[in-house]
Amino acid sequence: MLALKLAYRNLVGAGLRTWLNVFVLSFTYILIIWQFGMIDGWNYQAQVDMKNWEVGNGQYWHQNFDPYDFFSYEESHAQIPELLKKATSEGKATPILISQGTIYPDGRLQSMILRGISPEQKVIAIPSAELNVKSEEIPVIIGQRMANSCKLNQGDITTIRWRDANGTFDAKEVKIVKIFHCNVPSVDAGQMYLSLENHQKMMQIPGQATMFIIDKNSNINSNISGWEYKSHEFLMKEMTEMIKMKKVGGSVLYFILLLLAMLAIFDTQVLSIFRRQKEIGTYIAMGMTRKQVVGLFTVEGAMHAILAVIIGAIYGFPFLLWQMKIGISMPAGTDNLGIPIAEKIFPVYGLGLIISTVMLVLIITTIVSYMPAHKISKMNPTDAIKGKIQ
């Protein structure tokens, strides 16, 4: 195509200015891919972590259970139904008993959630097998966040207080037998795990549970009276939405960058159409139609994007692949957001992401190039040839 050939000659002939624009543009689109790839990678990782540590392939909740209402916990436990008992024995699900308790780090009262879990379970990644120790105190495990906030170390003994099913307060010593690392804050912060049996004894409700987690490789969703099925998607919804919001928020910066790159190209185009009047007149005198000249200038502008894609691919793709391989370290403290964040996130770049980013940059650049180029078609060729300023 003639326009492509001529546009390429003109761009390369224009030298430094071209390469500056091309570089900024390539940098922008690589950054956009990187940013979205990171968020997608994060999303993916968070999904996997939540599935492994908390959500499984869905849950059954006692009909009164509301995770956001601590007072509902007292009312939300019942005998384990047959179907789930069977599923538990087959390793397809595991019961959890949930109640509220208090702990006294440094003599301060702090509320927490006690979770009774079977030491034999393999449904979620909580290292509940560690609860299988003989000790005078009740063995418990906690996560790193909980350990930090209560200043507890492995082997520490501390007192906890709770209210049993009859409303009577009781207190006992517990021993921290294990501190685990987990990327999912809700599994860790303010949570203490003890064996289901111990918890049932403490609460004086043998054989009861608050909820069930279904194994990620199993599928149970039949109706069980008194229990409500919560799908995996439902349990993930909040996190997915939060990450989506992050995606929008995080991209604002990159779109500003894209806007700046577009401004540079717009400016280059306006300037060149102004400065190159004589050239435009000459093209017309040599028999190019105005449409062809407008096309040439538009292609010239759009070619910034084409060159940017090529240049970006040369330095950007190795960078992106390298990031995918080594991961991106996340600064400590980011998990205050309540979204699971690993120490390292491995970006995921979908083909859709790459293609849509490239197309976006191409289309916007073309539009931005066309707008000023369109003015050419209004030029009077005899004035243009002389390079008269209009």
Partner 1 sequence: MEQNQLITINNLVKNFPIGKGKFTALNGINLTFKTGEFAGLVGPSGSGKTTLLNIIGSLDIPSEGYANVLGMNIGKLNIKNAAILRRLHLGFIFQTYNLLPVYSVYENVEFPLLLINMSASQRKKAVMDALDWVGLTDKIKSRPAQLSGGECQRVAVARAMVKKPKIVLADEPTANLDAANSHNILKMMMKLNEELKTTFIFATHDEKVIQYLKRKIKLEDGKIVKDEIIKTNKEL
Residues that bind partner 1 (CB under 8 A): 2, 5-6, 9-10, 12-14, 278-279, 281-282, 284-290, 292, 381-382, 385-387
- Buried/exposed code over 15-42 (b: 16+ C-beta within 10 A; e: otherwise): eeebeebbbbbbbbbbbbbbbbbbbbbb
The whole-angstrom separation of Cα 198 and Cα 61 is 21
Nearer to partner 1, 14 or 224 (CB): 14
Candidates 209, 185, 228, 197; CA nearest to 98 is 209
The whole-angstrom separation of Cα 60 and Cα 210 is 9
- The CB-of-236 to partner 1 minimum distance in angstroms stands at 56
- The CB-of-340 to partner 1 minimum distance in angstroms stands at 55
User: ∠ CA(54), CA(334), CA(343), 5° rounding?
Assistant: 65
Nearer to partner 1, 158 or 292 (CB): 292
- The CB-of-305 to partner 1 minimum distance in angstroms stands at 20
Nearer to partner 1, 12 or 310 (CB): 12
Partnered with residue 101 across adjacent β-strands are: 112, 162
Nearer to partner 1, 122 or 278 (CB): 278
- The CB-of-367 to partner 1 minimum distance in angstroms stands at 24
- The CB-of-6 to partner 1 minimum distance in angstroms stands at 7
Q: What is the largest CA-CA distance in the chain?
A: 101
Q: How far is residue 117 from each of residues 126, 180, 235, 322, 387, measured CA to CA in Å?
A: 9, 15, 19, 41, 84
Candidates 92, 120, 102; CA nearest to 213 is 92
Nearer to partner 1, 202 or 280 (CB): 280
Nearer to partner 1, 4 or 165 (CB): 4
H helix and E strand count, the chain = 11, 13
Distance separating the N- and C-terminal Cα atoms of the chain: 31
Contacts of 317 (CB under 8 A, 6+ apart): none
Number of Cβ within a 10 Å radius of residue 61: 18
Nearer to partner 1, 252 or 286 (CB): 286
- The CB-of-382 to partner 1 minimum distance in angstroms stands at 5
- The CB-of-270 to partner 1 minimum distance in angstroms stands at 18
Nearer to partner 1, 286 or 389 (CB): 286
Phi and psi at residue 73, to the nearest 5°? -60, -35
- The CB-of-12 to partner 1 minimum distance in angstroms stands at 8
